[in-house]
């Protein structure tokens, strides 16, 4: 039994290594196609190494019996996000081909709706898979925010940074770590962020409409986060009152 577990662990780790290898291959293809500079190469390689290291550590900690089909889809999305990240880093020196940039980003966004369905249909949903999916989504939005901010201004970075600000705040106010109830509105707002940012990044819209689209994305995101924070705060207060009431009953 121990041998089987060791074999499975090695097989899972091999998949992350293959993912890193495919990431480097994609960077090589991008470098050949557009003559990517050092900034793009270094950023892309750093993304590949960081993804491999973090994912390998998470797999070692959770020890799943297999990597799973849904995680393979998410890993594929992560590879595309790594390519987009490299292009954005390279764009500080020269703008990437719009078709290539939009194509990679669009496929990554489309696949965002695939891994969850695969997990549910195959019965392979796991907390690690959900977290992996969420982190890939969040990082893509951050990268797109950086790219769009170069034309619209630094305020766009609020879109990409909001989720990370929430995580940082949760380290101080622990009540923010409580689980949230499922919400279609939250999922819709999250999905629209990537679509709106991609529209702005495509250069197909006039400046005024581009500004309006991104401002709408930010407005809906602020509303979504604000609603969730308010719900968490109210819930924490109710729980605090209940705990205090129980203590008074026990003491009395």
Per-residue pLDDT of the chain (252 residues; tens, 9 = 90+): 333 444 456 777 788 888 889 999 999 999 998 889 999 999 999 999 999 988 888 888 887 777 888 888 999 999 999 999 999 999 998 888 999 999 999 999 999 888 888 888 888 788 888 889 999 999 999 999 999 999 999 999 999 999 999 999 999 999 999 999 989 999 999 999 999 999 999 988 999 999 999 999 999 999 999 999 999 999 988 876 766 656 666 666
Q: Which of 101, 96, 98, 134 minimizes the C-alpha distance to 115?
A: 134
Measured CA to CA in angstroms, residue 49 lies from 22, 38, 178 at distances of 12, 16, 31
pLDDT of residue 2: 39
pLDDT in tens, 132-175: 999 999 999 999 999 999 999 999 999 999 999 999 999 999 99
Cα–Cα distance, 91 to 167 (Å, whole number): 28
- Model-wide pTM > 0.75: yes
- Asked if residues 79 and 121 have their Cβ atoms less than 8 Å apart, the reply is no
- Asked if residues 210 and 197 have their Cβ atoms less than 8 Å apart, the reply is no
DSSP class of 156 = G
């Amino acid at each position: 039994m121990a041998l089987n577990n060791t074999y499975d662990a090695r097989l899972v780790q091999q998949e992350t290594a293959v993912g890193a290898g495919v990431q480097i291959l994609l960077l090589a293809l991008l470098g050949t196609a557009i003559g990517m500079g050092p900034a793009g190469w270094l950023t892309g390689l750093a993304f590949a190494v960081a993804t491999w290291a973090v994912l390998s550590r998470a797999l070692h900690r959770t020890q799943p019996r297999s990597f799973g089909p849904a995680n393979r889809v998410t890993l594929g999305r992560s590879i595309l996000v790594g390519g987009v990240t490299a292009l954005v880093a390279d764009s500080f020196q020269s703008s990437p081909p719009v078709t290539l940039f939009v194509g990679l980003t669009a496929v990554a966004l489309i696949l965002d709706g695939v891994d969850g369905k695969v997990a549910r249909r195959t019965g392979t949903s796991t907390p690690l898979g959900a977290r992996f999916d969420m982190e890939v989504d969040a990082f893509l939005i951050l990268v797109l925010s950086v790219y769009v901010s170069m034309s619209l201004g630094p305020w766009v970075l609020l879109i990409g940074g909001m989720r990370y600000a929430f995580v940082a705040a949760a380290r101080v106010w622990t009540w923010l770590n409580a689980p949230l109830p499922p919400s279609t509105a939250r999922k819709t707002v999250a999905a629209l962020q990537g679509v709106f940012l991609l529209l702005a990044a495509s250069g197909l819209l006039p400046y005024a409409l581009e500004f309006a689209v991104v401002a709408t994305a930010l407005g809906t995101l602020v509303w979504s986060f604000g609603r969730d924070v308010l719900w968490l705060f109210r819930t924490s207060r109710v729980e605090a009152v209940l705990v205090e009431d129980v203590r008074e009953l026990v003491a009395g």
